[in-house]
Every structure is written in C-alpha cells, then in structure tokens.
Structure 1
Amino acid sequence: MRNHKSVLISGASVAGPALAFWLARAGWSVTVVEKAPALRRGGQAVDFKGATHRTVLERMGLLADVQARQTDGHDQTVIDARGRSLAVIPGAFTGGDVEIRRGELAGLLYERTASSCEYLFGDTISGLAEGPGGVDVEFASGAGRRFDLVVGADGIHSQVRRLAFGPEERFVRFLGHYYALAEIGDPGLGGQAVMYNEPGRMVAVGGPKAPAFFVFASPALSYDRDDPAAGKQVVQRVYRGSGWRVAELLDRLEQAEDFYLDSLSQARLDTYHRGRVVLLGDAAYGNTLGGFGTGLAVVGAYVLAGELTTAEGEHRAAFRGYQDRMRPYAAIARQGSAGPFLAPKSRSRIRLRNAVFQRRLLLRLMMRMTDRYATDIDLRGYPSLTARP
C-alpha cells in the first residue's frame, strides 16, 4: 500500500472524524475542515443498534468509552395538556443498544484523531477544481491547497456536494417537517422525560436528552439556518398558543445559547462519488430522525476507509466498492420520515401512534424490524485498517 495519500474531509461531526480515524491509522495524510469555530458539544442523543454497529465501534476501540458516556436512556412518557400519561415509549426503543449525546461522541472521535490529523476550524471549502493528479481546493479563508481526494461529510446541506455535484435542490427532498433543538436548562420535571403533541406539533423535554426537542409540520420555510435568532422566531411563531407548558418553554427558548433548526429532508443520489470527490454520511444518504443516521455514518466511514486502503488508494475502484456495499444498507434512510410519527397531523393519528406503545406485540415487531435494518450489511474485515503503518 502506498502511504501518505492526502485527503481533505469536510465536516467534523461524526462521519468525518470517523473516516479520519481509519485513514490516519492506515498512514494517510488527513485534513479535516469544519465551518464551526470549535468542536460542537452537546446536541441530541444518538444511538447504535445491533451487532454491526457494535463491531465497528469495537474495531475502533471506542465501544467501552461510548458505553461509559451513554445517557442511560430513560423511558419517555407521552402526556396530554394536563400532564396526564397517555403512553410510555420505552428507552430501549428510542435509545437502541447504547445511546450517547452527539457532542460526546464527536469529542471522543476528535480526541483519537487530533494528534494524527490536521483540523481547520472556522473555515469551509469555497471552490473545487479537479485535475489529473488531484483536487485543487479553495477555502473561504483565502487559502488554496491540493489534495489527492476530497470527502464531503458535511451534512444534508453539503457544500462539497453542491460544488462537485450541483445545486442542493437536485439532490435533497424536503419531507414536510422541521425539527429544532434548544438547550433550555432543567424544566423542573424531576428528571422525567415527556413528550407532548398537538396536531402537527411535538415537543419533548426532560430526561437524558437534555435539549428541548421540537418537531413540527410545515411547508418549506425561508430563513437563515446560520442565524439562531431567526430560527427561534420560527419556533416561537409555530408553537404560539400551544397548551401544556409550551409557553414556558418558549420563554426559556429566548435565552438558549445552543439552538439549531433544520428541515427533515432526504439526500437522494444515484451515485455517491464524482471524480476524486466522494460523499459520506448525511451528505450522501441523509437520514430523517429515524434513528439510523449515526450508525450509517460510522459504518460508512469504516467501509469507505476499508475500500480506499484495500484498493491502495485507487479511488475509482474504492469508490465503486464503497457505493456497492453502502447503497443497499443505506436504503433505510430512503424509506420515509420520522416527522409524521413524531408530529402526526391529526388527533386521530396521534392516538394511533400512541397505541403502538400500548401494544407490546406491535412494539416488539417494530424493534425487531429496526434491528434487522441496522445489521443488514455484510461487514467485511479489512486487514488494511488493522495493520499499523
């Protein structure tokens, strides 16, 4: 294997650092660029399910640390406007085998790559020009560099995808719902996790998933995703007049320092690669709050790294192998959206959703189905990843 191939990875959440971990171990020169000024801490809880996810974490030497930082996911109580229990969502359903906050997971990945990889925070890719021997990259900071390969691990609104493949509207499908996360502090529920619904609106708060979590149905909205104040105004407007304690949560929302609002959307691509550029994670097979996004990102990083190192850097064969293996596995991300399940648009649909958690047999069937999706890949062993350079 020819070492010291250079790769630029855009995105320092989960998929990007996971890929950086494997390629740096195999002797590659790895640079990760992230538009945020620093590592993003906190965030919602994410989970891993089944033997496939566990195997990749074990091969990374990460499983024990993830388990040590898990949220110990609690049951969540669905309540009515008077706070009375309507149903209980088991922690095993929402939290998989092990659940951890996204920021904690990103921190673990960063700790394992910071000394072997170059991180560029507060910058982003502004231009890509591919030549016969590599990709010339322009950064928003004004710098320019050449890399052998470029990986877009920069989310559903991927800048790399836009530059290399085309406008977002050609590859991203809006699914009719939005979600918001806000760090609002302890709402005084005594550690209980609750979820409250009105037609087309949901809010979940309390328990180990520290951010307040909003999901709502809406036509496509025009707002600045990089402006938290604009996002807060959207949530304030949508939830104005809601029952239970939503007005109190909206008051707290004004002071939330950590806030994020985005659409539920799907990335739909016929191919994950173009030339020397390849997409990973949500940029390629964006999930929709269905509970598979983080697992897909970590498994995808392992497969992409394995194919690249096995092919000794011959990117065309490696990218084809990566796509052939991941596309069937990532099909779960194209099956629908969690939006109608979390925020049904009518009271009758809310009652029907609640009934799922009141019937143990139906719930067990759903959990078996998610386990099957999570393990539906022939996970290769890549000696090229386990052999130290």
Structure 2
Amino acid sequence: MVMHMTKTTVLISGASVAGPALAYFLHRDGYDVTVIERAPHLRDSGYPVDFRGQALDVLEEIGILAEVRAHDTKMRGTTLVDEKGGEIGRLPAETFAGELEVPKQDLTRILHRITADDVAYVFDDSISALIQHESGVTVEFERGTIRDFDLVIGADGVYSKVRQLTFGPHADMLRHLGLSGVGFSTANYLGLDRSGLLQHTPDTAIYLFIPNAAKRLTVSLSFATASPALDRCDRDEQEKAVRAAFTGHNWEAPRLLEAMSKADDYYFSSASQVDLDHWSCGRITLVGDAGYCAAPTSSMGTSQALIAAWTLARSLADAGGDHATAFAAYEAELRPYVAENQIKGQQTATMLGGGATPMGW
C-alpha cells in the first residue's frame, strides 16, 4: 500500500517582498503555500528598493540576482541644495541606493512570477479572524470561505492585520520616529537623469530624483510629526498637514504641493518601528516589517525582509517542520540583526539635530 504524506499548509498574509520570498523557499521545501493580499493586484508604485550585504546572497539563492541586476536604477548621486536651490554638497549614490537599487514594482513582479505557478495567490481579500487550536489555525476572511491552515505567517507590513489579531492594537507596538511624509510622481520638469536633489530644514525635507530610464520625477515631502496618526486619516487631511508643514518654503515647494493634489500614485506613511517582545504565538509568526520594521530611515527594509524570509524558511527546515523549535531559532538568530537596523533607523531620523530626512514610500 502506498502512503501519501499530507503537506503542511501555510497561509502568508502579504504579497510585497517578504511574503513571496518566503513562499518561494517554503514551496521549495515541500510546503503547500497560499498568499493572501488585500490589494486587488500587485502594487505598481513605491520608491526603488535597495539591497545590502547578505540580501544579495538571498537573491542569488532564489536564482534571480542577475535578473534583478538588469533593473538597476544606476543612480549617480544626490545634490544637496539650499533654500534657494543652490548646490551646497553632494551625496554618493550608495547613500540611498545601497549596493544595488531597483524599482520596487520590478522586484515584486519578479518574485510573483517565479512563484505564481506553485503558490496560490488570493488578491483583494484579507484576514478577519484567527482562531488557534491544537492542530492548526482556523482563518476567517473578509470575502473568502473559512479555511484551516497548519501555520499562519504575517508579512503584511507595519499595520499588519495578523499582528493586530494575534498580539493586540497597533498603538501598543509602534515606535514613532518623529517623521511622516508623502510620496508621488510628477513630470520631470527639472530634467534630472539618474540623479537626485535634496533640500532639508530642521523640520522638513524635499527629495526629488529620477532613476534609470524613468520618465517621471519621484517626489518625497517629509516633515516632523508627533505621532503616526496621519497614517489613518483620509487624503484631504494628510494633504492639509503637508501644506501646513511646507508653508513659506520657496524653491520647488509651491509647484510640488500643486502636483501632489493631482497625483494618482499618492502615498502617505510615517517613519515608525515595530517593537515586540516576541514575534510568534503558537502557530502564528511574523516576518519583515510586520514583526520588526526598522523604519524607512534605516534603508534596510527590503534587505531585512529577504534575509528574514530566508532565515525563517531555513529554521523550519532545520527543525524538521517543528514550528515551535523553528520559530524560536528564527527569532534568536535574527534579533541582533534587527536591533542593529532599528538603531540605524533611529539614528538617521535624528542625525540632522532632529531635522527631517527623506523617507521612502
């Protein structure tokens, strides 16, 4: 008689970077993986993302490093300007671009493509309830049918629904770094080519750049805030706060504020870190920003997500699928790296004497 082994079923919430990367490794190791994403399709906006250190080794292990390199933004550097737009200094490309930088939508598209035939992707839905029991986790969805999974992994960002349902309110776990900002694109009226312009004051930062062969100017307007509360406000309230922060600014501020209101790729976020005493609870664990976001000011979000996915999958493999042992090993190995990145995020947010720094989005 032939015995058929049942595969361990895993639900991953989030289809940005950490989720699909983890899905790749888990499928490779014999898991039955489903990825759920609240957006109706793959996101096609966002700043370019950069890779540093071991993250390049992870891309190589997945088998996509050469393809990712083909999308290198080839940034030349950033010019620092004063309040009138006059040059006062320059920053090398690696300040923002790391060892390799690519548009985020290209990375997510590649990760989705290499996993789409083997992993079940469910878009335009989200988790509404998680009920753990001895043999698994019963998951209720906003739209889909109730299902049971052996493991559930939150890779759904700073405002992770998995974390909220498992560990408690967002406010109890977020450490605000004093910055918020808006990102969008507009016409490249400055004629930039693989270069950036940065103007900062004690309370604001304007960062403009255009990477690679992009035809539109990417804009970041960052400003000092006391809390991340604006993240949950509607666009009108957010724009009102941005306008108030940049009132009286010269240089390109008036034109950029006008372009902001017309942008169809508008995105608002705050620089916040996620601080948890532990990343797992029973059969549920967190990976990437959902569990330990280092904030955009760390410039380590994407690298950390990739390394975390690789570490978690390897820990499960080493533990023979024993999730309790694996989750403990994953956290023990990764926590020092996360702590270092969070310190970087905090230091960068305050390095200009409390002044604002440009944020990713």
Q: Identify the residue that residue 293 of structure 1 maps to in structure 2.
A: 301
Residue 322 (str. 1) matches residue 330 (str. 2) = yes
Equivalent residue of 2:262, what SS?
coil
CA distance in 1, matches of 2:8, 2:224: 45
Query: Displacement, 1:128?
Result: 0.3
Q: What does 1:153-168 correspond to in 2, within 5 Å?
A: 153-168=155-170
Residue 37 (str. 1) matches residue 40 (str. 2) = yes
Q: Identify the residue that residue 126 of structure 1 maps to in structure 2.
A: 128
Q: Identify the residue that residue 334 of structure 1 maps to in structure 2.
A: 342
- Structure 1 residues 130, 298: closer, same or farther in 2, change over 3 A? same
Q: Identify the residue that residue 171 of structure 2 maps to in structure 1.
A: 169
Q: Identify the residue that residue 302 of structure 1 maps to in structure 2.
A: 310
Q: Identify the residue that residue 108 of structure 1 maps to in structure 2.
A: 110
Residue 254 (str. 1) matches residue 261 (str. 2) = yes
Q: What does 1:10-21 correspond to in 2, within 5 Å?
A: 10-21=13-24
Report which stretch shifted further, 187-196 or 161-170. 187-196
Report which stretch shifted further, 181-190 or 290-299. 181-190
Residue 203 (str. 1) matches residue 211 (str. 2) = no
CA distance in 2, matches of 1:307, 1:78: 44
- Structure 1 residues 99, 226: closer, same or farther in 2, change over 3 A? farther
Equivalent residue of 1:184, what SS?
strand
Q: Identify the residue that residue 191 of structure 2 maps to in structure 1.
A: 189
Deviations 1:38-95 (A, max 9, x none): 1011311211112x12211111111101100111122100101222111101002221
Deviations 1:1-49 (A, max 9, x none): x662111111111101110111112221111111111101131121111
Q: Is the contact between residue 78 and residue 87 of structure 1 (CA under 8 Å) also seen in structure 2?
A: yes
CA distance in 2, matches of 1:309, 1:214: 43
Query: Displacement, 1:229?
Result: 4.2
Query: Displacement, 1:275?
Result: 0.4
- 1:254 aligned partner, one-letter code: S
Query: Displacement, 1:226?
Result: 7.5
Residue 268 (str. 1) matches residue 268 (str. 2) = no
Q: Identify the residue that residue 212 of structure 1 maps to in structure 2.
A: 219
Report which stretch shifted further, 16-25 or 175-184. 175-184
Aligned residues: 346
- Structure 1 residues 221, 94: closer, same or farther in 2, change over 3 A? closer
- Structure 1 residues 215, 223: closer, same or farther in 2, change over 3 A? closer
Query: Displacement, 1:303?
Result: 0.7
- 2:350 aligned partner, one-letter code: P
Q: Identify the residue that residue 6 of structure 1 maps to in structure 2.
A: 9
- Structure 1 residues 224, 270: closer, same or farther in 2, change over 3 A? closer
User: What are the ranges of 5 or more consecutive residues in structure 2 without an aligned counterpart?
Assistant: none
% of aligned pairs identical? 36
TM-score, normalization: structure 1?
0.84
Report which stretch shifted further, 236-245 or 14-23. 236-245
Equivalent residue of 2:187, what SS?
coil
Deviations 1:201-221 (A, max 9, x none): 001112218521122111125
Q: Is the contact between residue 180 and residue 270 of structure 2 (CA under 8 Å) also seen in structure 1?
A: yes
User: What are the ranges of 5 or more consecutive residues in structure 1 without an aligned counterpart?
Assistant: 351-389
Q: Identify the residue that residue 361 of structure 1 maps to in structure 2.
A: none
Query: Displacement, 1:345?
Result: 4.5
Equivalent residue of 1:112, what SS?
helix
Q: Is the contact between residue 158 and residue 289 of structure 2 (CA under 8 Å) also seen in structure 1?
A: yes
CA distance in 2, matches of 1:93, 1:176: 21
- Structure 1 residues 307, 224: closer, same or farther in 2, change over 3 A? closer
Query: Displacement, 1:228?
Result: 3.8
Q: Identify the residue that residue 387 of structure 1 maps to in structure 2.
A: none
Q: Is the contact between residue 269 and residue 284 of structure 1 (CA under 8 Å) also seen in structure 2?
A: yes
Query: Displacement, 1:288?
Result: 1.6
Taking only aligned residues, the RMSD between alpha carbons, in angstroms, comes to 2.0
Q: Is the contact between residue 239 and residue 261 of structure 2 (CA under 8 Å) also seen in structure 1?
A: yes
- 1:153 aligned partner, one-letter code: A
Alignment counterpart, residue 321 of structure 2, candidates 313, 317, 321: 313
Q: Is the contact between residue 43 and residue 211 of structure 1 (CA under 8 Å) also seen in structure 2?
A: no
Q: Is the contact between residue 180 and residue 228 of structure 2 (CA under 8 Å) also seen in structure 1?
A: no
CA distance in 1, matches of 2:228, 2:323: 38
Equivalent residue of 2:332, what SS?
helix
- 1:286 aligned partner, one-letter code: C
TM-score, normalization: structure 2?
0.90
Q: Identify the residue that residue 146 of structure 2 maps to in structure 1.
A: 144
CA distance in 1, matches of 2:6, 2:206: 49
Q: Is the contact between residue 3 and residue 27 of structure 1 (CA under 8 Å) also seen in structure 2?
A: no
- 1:339 aligned partner, one-letter code: A
Equivalent residue of 2:22, what SS?
helix
- Structure 1 residues 222, 48: closer, same or farther in 2, change over 3 A? closer
- Structure 1 residues 193, 182: closer, same or farther in 2, change over 3 A? same
Query: Displacement, 1:334?
Result: 2.6
Query: Displacement, 1:344?
Result: 5.2
CA distance in 2, matches of 1:193, 1:223: 27
CA distance in 1, matches of 2:25, 2:126: 22
- Structure 1 residues 288, 223: closer, same or farther in 2, change over 3 A? closer
Q: What does 1:43-122 correspond to in 2, within 5 Å?
A: 43-50=46-53, 52-122=54-124
CA distance in 1, matches of 2:26, 2:327: 15
